[in-house]
Structure 1
């Protein structure tokens, strides 16, 4: 099926990368449900991890001027540790129930921060560890944890360029870790590896277009956009499972 609809798949992957860049939390949030139309779920997990590696390298290269070293450590290390746990658990856990819980969680938190716009979560070690652990676990089990990391960074009210650079560096470590586990789980199938160079080009193009869009919006518009995207992702997660 994928070979037959490859041009459509590529166009949708580019859109996912653009939205992931503008939203600041990576393309997997959009890419996973897109790829799920063309591939089985385990193959989706494997190809998403490889796609995200090139995607994050592109973001780091284009947004390299600033990132928060403290948050990279306090949020990133728990994310890397828990993504390995989540990737291993993906063989045993029913992803449907977790998708419902993730959707409810994202809807609730995004609405709280949209309604109470002055609310700020202190970017301390405790909050970073919680956000990193949850995002890593979600990334390992469901293939995407960027929305949880995004809601954490949005709550910290980070500068948009620092937000994206920090998120990409954390995500790079997450994707390296889960790629290893997915490989040993048998999720990376030889017949799909031809997609890797295609998705490399997609990641560069999508990140470049996303950066051009970001240059034209304000910091407050960026934060609002992130929260509305996360709200939409939460609703779409629940609706997609109900539809199934």
Structure 2
């Protein structure tokens, strides 16, 4: 990648960290298409898992006073099992199938956001957690599924982000181990990962500050505008 391209990628990676730290979820929805466009779908998903797992360590530290270990334990276990299944499927799947999975999850996430499906209390938290991990393992993002599962725990805002951070770390760490064993990460991925380390702390601080002080309406508009553009671009790449 050129210097300009690398700067653009790192800027969007930073934005992903900030989104994730402010809402507890959603960072992968920006990071995965960004990395998939520049590195390819499989390597992009693999690098996103590594970066998000590392960033979740920062989030766990930031939200260390509001980590609901007991309430979230079963959700976390189901996400890990699902992530192992999904990421194993990704390793064996053709590149085009992974790209289709990414696009489908982004469209589903946008539809869920528009219809406010995240606020539904379904009572099927364990099943949703497994599906969340499996879809995240294959496409790089779980869309609204993880949010719905964690909402069933009936947590306040800070504890919700704490639970999401624990669950995301467990799932991303599982995926990273499987992807590393399959040797999906190339030289460019390693260099981006190293360059992104200081951005994790900065993005976590930014997101945590937003979580405490501001609403998310403007942030959501910007986020989904970027997402719509990337989804169109992924469609174009799929048709090439």
* TM-score for the superposition, normalised by structure 2: 0.82
Contact residue 16 and residue 31 of structure 1 kept, 8 A: yes
- Distance (whole Å) between structure 2 residues aligned to residue 229 and residue 8 of structure 1: 16
In structure 1, the gaps of 5 or more residues are none
- Structure 1 position 192, deviation (Å): 3.0
Q: Which one is further off, 192-201 or 166-175?
A: 192-201
- Distance (whole Å) between structure 2 residues aligned to residue 84 and residue 98 of structure 1: 16
Tell me: CA distance 1:231–1:205, structure 2 relative to 1, closer, same or farther (3 Å): closer
What CA RMSD, in Å, does the superposition of the two structures yield over aligned residues?
3.0
- Structure 1 position 136, deviation (Å): 0.5
**2:93 aligned counterpart, secondary structure:** coil
* Residue of structure 2 in register with 1:205 after alignment: 202
- Structure 1 position 80, deviation (Å): 0.3
Contact residue 21 and residue 210 of structure 1 kept, 8 A: yes
Superposed CA deviations along residues 85-137 of structure 1, whole A, max 9, x for unmatched, are 111111226124434542453344334437xx9x6516x5xx22122111101
The correspondence for 2:235, drawn from 235, 239, 242, is: 242
Superposed CA deviations along residues 30-56 of structure 1, whole A, max 9, x for unmatched, are 111111232122221222122112210
Q: Which one is further off, 160-169 or 139-148?
A: 139-148
Do residues 180 (structure 1) and 177 (structure 2) align?
Answer: yes
**2:184 aligned counterpart, secondary structure:** coil
* Residue of structure 2 in register with 1:92 after alignment: 93
The correspondence for 2:191, drawn from 190, 194, 200, is: 194
Do residues 149 (structure 1) and 146 (structure 2) align?
Answer: yes
Tell me: CA distance 1:20–1:4, structure 2 relative to 1, closer, same or farther (3 Å): same
* Residue of structure 1 in register with 2:82 after alignment: 82
- Structure 1 position 21, deviation (Å): 1.8
* Residue of structure 1 in register with 2:41 after alignment: 41
After TM superposition, the structure 1 = structure 2 runs for residues 56-67 of structure 1, keeping only pairs within 5 Å, are 56-67=56-67
Tell me: CA distance 1:175–1:231, structure 2 relative to 1, closer, same or farther (3 Å): same
**2:65 aligned counterpart, secondary structure:** coil
Tell me: CA distance 1:233–1:192, structure 2 relative to 1, closer, same or farther (3 Å): closer
* TM-score for the superposition, normalised by structure 1: 0.81
Tell me: CA distance 1:75–1:231, structure 2 relative to 1, closer, same or farther (3 Å): farther
- Distance (whole Å) between structure 1 residues aligned to residue 89 and residue 71 of structure 2: 26
